[in-house]
Amino acid sequence: MKSEKDMSSEFHSVVLNQLDTGVFITEADTDRIVYMNETMKQRFQLVDPEGKPCYKVLQKDMNERCAFCNRRELLTNRQMKDCVWNEVNTINHRLYKNYDQLFEWQGKQYFIENSIDITDLMSINETNSAAFNLNANDGSFMQLIRLGKNENKSVTVVMCDINDMKLINEQYGWSAGDRLLSAFADYFRRQLHEQELFFSLKSDQFMAVFYGENYQSAEKRVQQIQKTMAFDKDNGQLPYEFTFSFGLYEVYPSDHYSAEDIIARADERLYQQQRAYHIMKSKNQYLKHAGATTVVDFEYDKEHLYEALAASSDDYLFVGNMKTGVFRYPETMVQEFGLPGQIVENAAAFWSELIYPEDIEDFLASNQEIADGRAESHNIEYRAKNVRGEWIWLRCRGNMIRDEQGSPNLFAGIISNLGKQRQIDPMTGLDNKFAFEDLVKKSLMNKDQVKQLGIMVLNIDSFKNINDLYNRSFGDEILRLTASKLNSLLPEQAKLYRLDGDEFGVVLFNPRLNEVLSFYQQIQTVFNRQQEYDGRKYYCTLSAGYALYPQDAENYQNLLKYANYSLEHSKHIGKNRLTLFSSDILKQKERKLELMEMLRESVDRGFVGFSVAYQPQVNSKDQKLHGAEALARWSCPKYGNISPVEFIPLLEQSGLIVQFGNWIAYQAAQQCKKWCAYQPDFKVSINLSYRQLIEGDILPFMKETLKKLKLSPDNVIMELTETYLAQEDGSIQEAISELKRIGIQLAMDDFGTGYSSLFSLKNMPVNVVKIDRGFVKEITTDMFNATFIRTITQLCHEVGKTVCLEGVESAEEYNVVKYSGIELIQGYYFGKPMSAADFEEKYFK
């Protein structure tokens, strides 16, 4: 095999060094340079680059093959002979068009690249502007985005659109418009830094890419460009004033968006500014000419007026010639009521065949008054039969115009479909839940055409957060926007409805499973990112449930019920997902409903089946008994023992938790009073529900309980989870303060699993912090967990709080944590939850 030096000499002997383009050859497997012509060396000021990886000498701060390098496709796709791609170099920031080819030399693969500097040549002739065309150079755009990731710098995309370009072309000619585009692009590009880009998107729209600029600094730069562009009529360059709108989007190093996503986000903000510009322009024109007009006669296309009005309304517009009795109706009415055509002779007689018998007399009388000229208008409601044989309530409102002799000449007005109006959601413009029900029921009757029918129920996740963060009117706008976006994503054979609140329904006709999954995947793509409306940012995903006829159910009630069960499942397992109905979901739901009824019966019968178990809490140093946590247990006749993880949430949902919580608290306090006879400083920990705090009467109940049992509040600790304690809820904080005021101690349960910060730990009004059992797992091998426990313990001691560690199950775990400074330990190693009798036998007998 020839040496690199021999290979280089052979190429030197030919024309490569005479070319005005850069040429170099690398080993395909190592990227080591084996040859580079003089043009390439001079371009990058290189001496003896042979033997070094190309990314080391031709790029900045690269330690491996460049992420934007397109050569790898030649290795993976054997059918590709060569590839052509654009590159913005990370050293000199110039734009190159690279031609790469893979070839073999004496049994080894090599890349050869011909790299042409096109920075100064990329004037776009087709738009007469100095901008690169994005379609031809989107690789360089994304390369700059990737460079920002590597260098941990933001990249801000600027979308620009020249305002009133159509007006300029019409008034001053297309050549004037072309000159403006060229001048605008040339001026804007001269304001860019060396490594930044400027593209042409379409006729009057451009995109700039600012490197290392955040949103605020980029906005200031563009505003300065707006101010300094000397393209107004005063400087003599152009005979008109012009402005441009812009939209910005900052791409952070951590973002993972495609070029299309980034451009779409910037374009959305451009549209917001364009809309504001046109609104302001119209307002200024109105103020300028308020009270005055130069228009003497308003002209319009009378021939097409009826079509335009009919297409703009959900109502039926009609117009009639009173002299001939001929009326015109819209095509929608022809289709709905089976009219012979849009033009109907002797219309009153025709309609009398469709009118409900009890309404005919009033209908004919009202129309006759108009025909006789005894009434100028009428407003009447009646029922008419549509093509499906349904009686539809209609309201007809019309006005009559007379001719010069005073005779009836024209009768025109609006017929409103009251049944349809009552099925329209006024906020979103979608059909509502009643229309949803009607369509599904009618479709299920048409078994010849509808072989399968799917129902998808969608619900906005955490929509309450949007209302709380802003206000309800903003939330209403988000509902409208969401409806619009969902409508744009619908498959062909599907229809969208607004159900209740923040819930939407979709009916899919004869759907394929992959079509359903693809539809929801599109929804996730659109909503799985922060959005913006009216300058305010928000984030909302959608959960969904889906049921299919006839596989899952054969009637509307069950289809909707099963779709809702599936939606509940999506919410329960984490939100932002689609759940297809299955028999397992039905079994889970039926079990849940059955358990809820059994719980209600148990509570109503004096808490039959419930009991309290006690798990010991010991001092960490000497393992002496300190107290116990009271834990609820429940056994039902059908299923036996039910885990608290399952039945406590059901008590919360059913509203029984307040009543049940008081029962548990009394049982635990009563037992504590008994055990205080053996150990006066014994403490019982009682779990407190969030709903007990905000809905119940926990404070007077505990006062009365302590008084009745003659139990000191020092012996009682109420536990509340970290998540609820961290909430800035005035009613919660007030209830907590009142409990502490009467002497009851408070504990924060499950610390480390919620969202509170270490700083908030200082301000939590608790006496005891219970570190979650999850931090004990693998503590003998996991340094993080051991360090976390020691650190939190030290912080708690600094602010006067006691620490209890849950979940210690072995001697090895105890030996690791006993010297960490914690005061109390709770776990299976010292005792599982046990009945009061067993607890007493073990510790006090």
Asked whether 670 and 709 are in contact (CB, 8 A), the reply is: yes
What top-level class would CATH report for the domain 307-421?
A: alpha beta
Angle at which helix 472-489 crosses helix 513-527, to 10 degrees, equals: 140
Residue 196: band (very low, low, confident or very high) from pLDDT cuts 50, 70, 90: confident
| Digit-coded pLDDT (tens) for 478-536 | 898 999 899 989 998 899 999 988 999 999 999 999 999 999 999 998 898 888 888 78
What average pLDDT does range 131-142 have in this prediction? 58
CB atoms within 10 A of CB 240: 14
Residue 129: band (very low, low, confident or very high) from pLDDT cuts 50, 70, 90: very low
Q: What is the DSSP string of 516-538?
A: HHHHHHHHHHHHSS-EEETTEEE
Residue 702: band (very low, low, confident or very high) from pLDDT cuts 50, 70, 90: very high
Q: Which CATH number is associated with domain 433-581? A: 3.30.70.270
Asked whether 669 and 684 are in contact (CB, 8 A), the reply is: yes
Helix (H) or strand (E) holding 513: helix 513-527
Query: What's the confidence (pLDDT) of residue 158?
Result: 94
Report the percent of the chain where pLDDT is more than 70: 89
Contacting residues for 719 by C-beta, under 8 A, at least 6 apart: 629, 685, 686, 687, 688, 746, 747, 748, 749, 770
- Expressed in angstroms, the distance from the first to the final Cα of the chain is 92
What average pLDDT does range 337-360 have in this prediction? 87
Angle at 243 between CA 171 and CA 154, to 5 degrees: 140
**Pick the residue with more confidence: 786 or 122?**
786
Mean pLDDT of the chain: 84
What average pLDDT does range 120-144 have in this prediction? 53
Q: Report whether pLDDT(121) > 60.
A: no
Q: Which residues face 173 on adjacent strands? A: none
Q: Report whether pLDDT(236) > 60.
A: no
Instruction: Tokens for 771, please give them.
Output: 């570190």
Angle at which helix 583-604 crosses helix 644-654, to 10 degrees, equals: 70
Cα pseudo-dihedral 776, 778, 784, 786, rounded to 10: 50
Buried b (16+ CB within 10 A) or exposed e, 205-232: bbbbbbbbbeeeebbebbeebeeebebe
| Digit-coded pLDDT (tens) for 563-613 | 999 999 999 888 999 999 999 988 988 888 899 999 999 998 889 999 999
The three-state secondary structure class of 618 is strand
Query: What's the confidence (pLDDT) of residue 125?
Result: 36
Q: Which residues face 208 on adjacent strands? A: 158, 198
Query: What's the confidence (pLDDT) of residue 696?
Result: 64
Residue 833: band (very low, low, confident or very high) from pLDDT cuts 50, 70, 90: very high
Nearest to 359 by CA among 327, 382, 387, 385: 382
What average pLDDT does range 246-259 have in this prediction? 85
Q: What are phi and psi of 451, to 5 degrees?
A: -80, -35
Could you give the residue range(s) of every CATH 3.30.450.20 domain in the chain? 4-117, 307-421
Distances in Å between the Cα of 602 and the Cα atoms of 23, 606, 825, 836 are 85, 7, 33, 21
SS3 track for 232-266 = CHHHCCCCCCCCEEEEEEEECCCCCCCHHHHHHHH
Q: What CATH architecture applies to the domain 605-843?
A: Alpha-Beta Barrel (3.20)
Query: What's the confidence (pLDDT) of residue 543?
Result: 95
What average pLDDT does range 204-209 have in this prediction? 86
Nearest to 561 by CA among 587, 586, 593, 594: 586
Q: Which residues face 785 on adjacent strands? A: none
Instruction: Tokens for 750, please give them.
Output: 């499950």
| Digit-coded pLDDT (tens) for 210-229 | 999 998 899 999 998 888 77
Contacting residues for 341 by C-beta, under 8 A, at least 6 apart: 334
Asked whether 84 and 54 are in contact (CB, 8 A), the reply is: no
Query: What's the confidence (pLDDT) of residue 330?
Result: 92
Cα pseudo-dihedral 373, 378, 380, 382, rounded to 10: 50
Query: What's the confidence (pLDDT) of residue 233?
Result: 46
Could you give the residue range(s) of every CATH 3.30.70.270 domain in the chain? 125-282, 433-581
Query: What's the confidence (pLDDT) of residue 136?
Result: 44
Hey, what long-range contacts does 92-101 have (CB within 8 A, 24 or more apart)? 92/43, 92/44, 93/194, 93/195, 94/119, 95/119, 95/122, 95/132, 95/137, 95/140, 96/22, 98/70, 100/70, 100/71, 100/74, 101/74
Q: What CATH architecture applies to the domain 4-117?
A: 2-Layer Sandwich (3.30)
| Digit-coded pLDDT (tens) for 759-795 | 556 677 888 998 888 888 878 887 788 888 888 888 8
Instruction: Tokens for 75, please give them.
Output: 């290795």
C-alpha 561/C-alpha 549 separation (Å) is 12
Hey, what long-range contacts does 140-143 have (CB within 8 A, 24 or more apart)? 140/86, 140/87, 140/88, 140/95, 140/197, 141/197, 141/199, 141/209, 141/259, 142/68, 142/259, 143/68, 143/86, 143/87, 143/88
Residue 128: band (very low, low, confident or very high) from pLDDT cuts 50, 70, 90: very low
Query: What's the confidence (pLDDT) of residue 334?
Result: 92
Place of tokens 């024109």: 285
C-alpha 412/C-alpha 305 separation (Å) is 13
Asked whether 164 and 180 are in contact (CB, 8 A), the reply is: no
* Homologous superfamily of 125-282: Reverse transcriptase/Diguanylate cyclase domain (3.30.70.270)
- Greatest mean pLDDT among 287-291, 618-622, 797-801: 618-622
The three-state secondary structure class of 554 is coil
| Digit-coded pLDDT (tens) for 268-325 | 888 888 888 887 877 777 676 655 556 556 676 777 788 888 887 878 999 999 888 8
What average pLDDT does range 260-274 have in this prediction? 85
**Pick the residue with more confidence: 92 or 474?**
474
Query: What's the confidence (pLDDT) of residue 144?
Result: 85
What average pLDDT does range 706-726 have in this prediction? 87
Distances in Å between the Cα of 430 and the Cα atoms of 314, 422, 478, 495, 642 are 12, 11, 14, 10, 44
Q: Report whether pLDDT(722) > 90.
A: no
Find the range with the poorest average confidence among 129-138, 335-344, 429-438, 517-526: 129-138
C-alpha 818/C-alpha 805 separation (Å) is 10
Query: What's the confidence (pLDDT) of residue 728?
Result: 56
- Greatest mean pLDDT among 74-88, 199-213, 635-649: 635-649
| Digit-coded pLDDT (tens) for 645-681 | 999 989 988 888 999 999 999 999 999 999 999 999 9
C-alpha 491/C-alpha 387 separation (Å) is 27
**Pick the residue with more confidence: 568 or 537?**
568
Nearest to 2 by CA among 112, 113, 108, 111: 108
Residue 3: band (very low, low, confident or very high) from pLDDT cuts 50, 70, 90: low
Report which DSSP code applies to 582.
-
Instruction: Categorise residue 606: left if φ over 0, alpha if ψ from -120 to 50, beta otherwise.
Output: left
Q: Give the E-state strand segments of 418-519 in sequence order.
A: 453-460, 494-498, 503-509
Q: Report whether pLDDT(126) > 60.
A: no
| Digit-coded pLDDT (tens) for 426-465 | 788 888 888 898 889 888 888 888 889 999 999 999 888 8
Distances in Å between the Cα of 637 and the Cα atoms of 595, 599, 611, 634 are 11, 11, 14, 10
